[in-house]
Amino acid sequence: MSAGSSAAATTEFTNPNLEVLFNAGQISERIAELGAQITEEYSDKELVLVGVLKGSCVFMADLMRAIDLPLTIDFMAVSSYKDGTQSSGDVEILKDLSNPIRDKDVIVVEDIVDTGLTLSRLLEILGSRGARSIRLASFLDKPEPRIKKELKIDYTGFVIPNRFVVGYGLDAASRYRNLPFIAVVKDPSAV
Ligand code: 5GP
């Protein structure tokens, strides 16, 4: 199919304001490893993947296809960051699970753990619902700003430095979620 008109020189995927940290190949290799590990560890369990919207949507889609087991999925949406880059510590449930998790083996699937405030509160809430087990998978771990030091990430994609990253589901002011790689925005004022 023809585009019909000449393409712009710079697209979102070749945006010069982005510095790539992990490319699509590196990401898919790592997800395959995580999927194989979870497949081995959950073979006799009733696995439910709980994605935390919106940031985990891409990781969730790739991770579930790397797990060779019968499983179900569900989603929650919570507010933590508003439009800026500061974690408030207050977590509001915007969308709750569709199905009960009683007696299930849950893996909460997150995009990134930063201060850990959002996840700690979410795990507290889910912890009161009678699941047989609850573990945490986070695509990115940014340990430096961690406030909730006791938070254990059972499955980590990559550990990153204390930089604000976008892509692979993560946004800056609602943009960049569709990037197939993880990048740092070089000049945030140009977003
Ligand atoms: P925490 O409560 O751990 O500080 O923050 C967790 C949430 O903050 C993540 O789910 C994500 O939405 C957002 N967040 C934290 N660090 C980053 C980052 O480097 N980039 C983006 N786009 N979001 C982040």
**Centroid of ligand 1 to alpha carbon of 177 (angstroms):** 13
Bridge partners, residue 183, by sequence: 20, 166
**Centroid of ligand 1 to alpha carbon of 69 (angstroms):** 29
Give percent above pLDDT 70 in the chain: 90
In a domain, 143, yes or no: yes
Q: Which atom of ligand 1 is nearest to the CA of 56?
A: 10
In a domain, 64, yes or no: yes
In a domain, 3, yes or no: no
CATH of the domain at 144: 3.40.50.2020
In this structure, what token pair is assigned to residue 44? 């006799």
In a domain, 139, yes or no: yes
Mutate to test the pocket of ligand 1, among 114, 140, 186 (most ligand atoms within 8 A of CB): 114
pLDDT over 90 (residue 39): yes
In a domain, 146, yes or no: yes
In a domain, 69, yes or no: yes
pLDDT over 70 (residue 145): yes
Number of domains in the chain: 1
In a domain, 17, yes or no: no
Question: What would the pLDDT profile of 70-110 be if each residue is shown by its tens digit?
Answer: 999 999 999 865 445 556 667 889 999 999 999 999 999 99
* Residue 79: domain span: 25-161
115 lines ligand 1 (CB under 6 A): yes
63 lines ligand 1 (CB under 6 A): no
